[in-house]
Every structure is written in C-alpha cells, then in structure tokens.
Amino acid sequence: MSGMNEQLGMSTIFDGDVEAAEAAITEALKAVGFGILTRIDVAATLKSKIGVERPPYVILGACNPKLAHRALQIAPEIGLMLPCNVVVRETDDGKTEVSIVNPDAMLGVVNRPELVELAAEARPLFEQALAALSR
C-alpha cells in the first residue's frame, strides 16, 4: 500500500496504465461482492467543461448490495455516502494509483455504532481487492 492518508482511504500502485487498472480493480471488487454502479472520467469532464488538461483520473462508485441494504436499514441518510468511491489515477510521477475510501471514515460520519460492524466487514474486502492488483 502507498502513503495515502489512511483515515481517508487505502491505496496501491498498479503496474500498468489507468485503463488496465480500472479493469483490474473492477474484476477484483467483483470477486469480493462489489459491483461498479457509476463511472466518472474526471479528466475528460474537466477538459470538455473548462478546457483543463490533467492526467487520467477516474472515479468509480462501488457497491455491495447486501452491505448497502443493511446500512440503509440502520441509517437511511447513509445514502449520502454511497456508493463507495474508488479512484484510479495517474500520479504526478507517471505511476498508476488505485485508492478506495476507508469505510471506517465514511460510515463514521454518521454517528451510529451499528455501522461500525458494517465498516469492519467492508474494509477487509476492499483490502483483498487492492491486494489482488499487486499479484
């Protein structure tokens, strides 16, 4: 894992370009029960909307339906934090970084102790998906 702020998320460097990393993390997340609901190509959007050129940067919205359902039953307002963001980007030094939100931080925003258990279930799944990228 790289030096990302652990409170915010967890990350790894992928040996390949952003397109390959996106495909790899999509498959790795699928293997642990998460599907991709949304995809935002930040670089393309910034270029088309305000003419800014930037290195590749994609935000994927990952969701585990069973965990999401349980979270919404506990705290319907958690929908403001869903789906879980995954960032695939080219770093300033030309590497490809894949980052996933820390579920402890995300669910901790809503002050409901019952969500701590869900975060504890989600975190190792995200860690497993990231670990699969470095094999």
CA separation for the pair 75, 114 (Å, rounded): 9
Structure token digits, residue 127: 């860690």
- pLDDT value, residue 2: 46
Contact 33, 125 (CB under 8 A): yes
Residue 47's H or E segment, with its range, is helix 42-50
- pLDDT value, residue 44: 96
Domains and CATH numbers, the chain: 9-133 (3.30.310.70)
Residue 55's H or E segment, with its range, is none
Structure token digits, residue 19: 């397109």
CA separation for the pair 3, 130 (Å, rounded): 14
User: Smallest Cα–Cα separation from 58: which of 10, 31, 26, 106?
Assistant: 26
Residues 6+ apart with CB under 8 A from 51: none
The pLDDT profile of the chain, 135 residues, written as one tens digit per residue, is 444 566 789 999 999 999 999 999 999 999 999 999 999 999 999 999 999 999 999 999 999 999 999 999 999 998 988 999 999 999 999 999 999 999 988 777 777 888 888 889 999 999 999 999 986
